[in-house]
Amino acid sequence: MRLLHTSDWHLGRSFHRVSLLDAQRAFLDHLVATVEERAVDAVLVSGDIYDRAVPSLAAVELFDQALHRLADLGVPTVMISGNHDSARRLGVGSKLMGRAGVHLRTDPRECGTPVLLDGADGGGQVAVYGLPYLEPSLVRQTLGAEGTGHTAVLRAAMDRVRADLATRPAGTRSVVLAHAFVTGAEVSDSERDITVGGVASVPVSVFDGVDYVALGHLHNCQSITERVRYSGTPLAYSFSEAGHEKSMWLVELGPGGEPAAERLRCPVPRPLARLRGTLAELLEEPAHEQHTGSWVEATLTDAARPHDPMARLAKRFPHIVSLVFAPEREETDDSRSYAVRLKGRTDRQIAEDFVGHVRPGRQAAPEEREMLGQALEAVRVAESEPDEPLAASRTAPTAPTAARQGEGAPGVVR
């Protein structure tokens, strides 16, 4: 039995405000072609079909096209909802779609109800159980969990799986789809935090008793054990994924349930590059020429922020989408008190030093020093020659005198 394990499509997601719909469409073309070329018996999609609970119309249309193409191939597809999906919305029409071979599992109450696939390889049936993302506070009572966290609800769901599996004929092979964070897995910056429901990670032992576990949620393709794997996302969704090789797992489930997985690389629409250096280095370094077609995140280390850096970098890197400032400054070890450091310095010197402090690497220019000097001189003159209102107030009569001169006048304190 040959299974294609994928997850976390995040249809409708953008990359730093750049639409990824074309790239996602290219991935789905690749997926359908792989199903045909590698004679896949079933497709497993482990959650986060969409990027938002209420997806865009374009994302829904893309999903609809994918479902029709998979159904036309006559290859069963099993999908679960993830933490980005709205389980209720994604599950609309699931019974009808099941008749076409597209099996959506979004209801926690159906954790123990498998999709049964006939093994054409001489082995027994394959029971595929779909565990949608289980938010502890919402499903704990439904599943009868004995705790309040992710481990408790997943263990309760797996108890249902194992109980159903025990009723199946001997030799029945088993597969579980789940959307969770398993302890020991590698995370990235682009996964949504799921710690609201308690401790996010669950031990891999929760999934004991089944032949293969197709995981979703984490974006890096990885193996927890030979039987428990993440497929990761088909595309990179943050620069923290710059080192990922995006892929799917082609899993051969032997007659006795033993899995053998082959990693299939996904097409890369545009590589990611994280560049670091001064603006001059990024603009002039010959080695960076290979990144002119990449999505670029540039980290500038100039001591002072250069003028209009994004526009200047875009001339060399047309697809730059992120700019970070991390100035490299000389460390100073001056433990003297602030008062001691200012002792003997004039107001003008202090002001000029301040300019250099807030703008490292660029001390006050001559014209700026002249302006600071003029401003300080104006303040000195103003303090030595009080303005007219202040002078008038010094000769104004006191309140009692004013009261005697205009008794009962409004605003006078008696």
What is the arrangement of strands in the sheet containing 272-277, beginning at the earlier edge strand? 272-277, 295-300, 320-325
- pLDDT attached to residue 353: 78
CA 271 and chain centroid, separation: 17
Instruction: Quote the CA–CA distance of 280 and 297 in Å, as a whole number.
Output: 16
Asked whether 208 and 174 are in contact (CB, 8 A), the reply is no
Report phi then psi at 288, rounded to 5. -80, -5
Task: Name the superfamily (CATH) of residues 2-265.
Answer: Metallo-dependent phosphatases (3.60.21.10)
Q: What is the pLDDT of residue 140?
A: 92
Q: Give the residue among 220, 242, 356, 246 at the shortest CA–CA distance from 298.
A: 242
Q: Within 13 A of 381's CA, how many CA atoms are on the CB side?
A: 6
Strand positions, DSSP E, 111-240:
115-117, 126-131, 173-179, 181-182, 201-202, 212-216, 222-223, 228-230
* DSSP class per residue in 350-376: HHHHHHHHHSTT-PPPHHHHHHHHHHH
* DSSP per-residue codes, 274-309: EEEE-HHHHHH-GGGGGGTTSEEEEEE--SSPPSSH
Q: Contact, 184 vs 225, CB < 8 A?
A: no
Tell which residue, 107, 118, 125, 23, has the closest CA to residue 74: 118
Give me 145's structure tokens: 């969990």
Kindly state the greatest CA–CA separation across the chain.
116
What tens-digit pLDDT sequence spans the chain (414 residues)? 999 999 999 999 999 999 999 999 999 999 999 999 999 999 999 999 999 999 999 999 999 999 999 999 999 999 999 999 999 999 998 888 999 999 999 999 999 999 999 876 677 899 999 999 999 989 999 999 998 889 999 999 999 999 999 999 999 999 999 999 998 888 877 766 655 334 578 999 999 999 999 999 999 999 999 999 999 999 999 999 998 999 999 999 999 899 999 999 999 999 999 999 999 999 999 999 999 999 999 999 998 889 999 999 999 999 999 999 999 866 555 556 666 667 667 888 888 778 776 665 567 788 888 888 888 878 876 766 655 554 444 444 444 444 344 444 444 333
- For residue 348, the one-letter residue type is R
pLDDT of the residue at 235 = 96
Instruction: Please report, as a single letter, which amino acid is at residue 62.
Output: L
Rounded CA separation 124/118 (Å): 7
How many Cβ atoms from other residues are within 10 Å of residue 404's Cβ?
Answer: 11
Rounded CA-CA distance 302/74 in Å is 58
Q: Strands 247-253 and 2-6, how do they pair?
A: antiparallel
Q: Residue holding tokens 């490299």?
A: 328
Q: How far apart are CA 385 and CA 41, in angstroms?
A: 92
Instruction: Say which residues have a Cβ less than 8 Å from residue 139's Cβ, sequence separation at least 6.
Output: 108, 145, 153
Say what the pLDDT of residue 411 is. Answer: 40
Q: H-helix or E-strand containing 347?
A: helix 347-358
Looking at residue 397, its pLDDT comes to 46
Domain-wise residue ranges, the chain: 2-265, 272-325
Provide the Cα torsion 139, 143, 144, 145; round to 10°.
Answer: -70
d(CA 145, CA 133): 15
Residue 219 makes CB contacts below 8 A (sequence gap 6+) with 8, 188, 190, 191, 232, 233, 237, 238, 241, 244
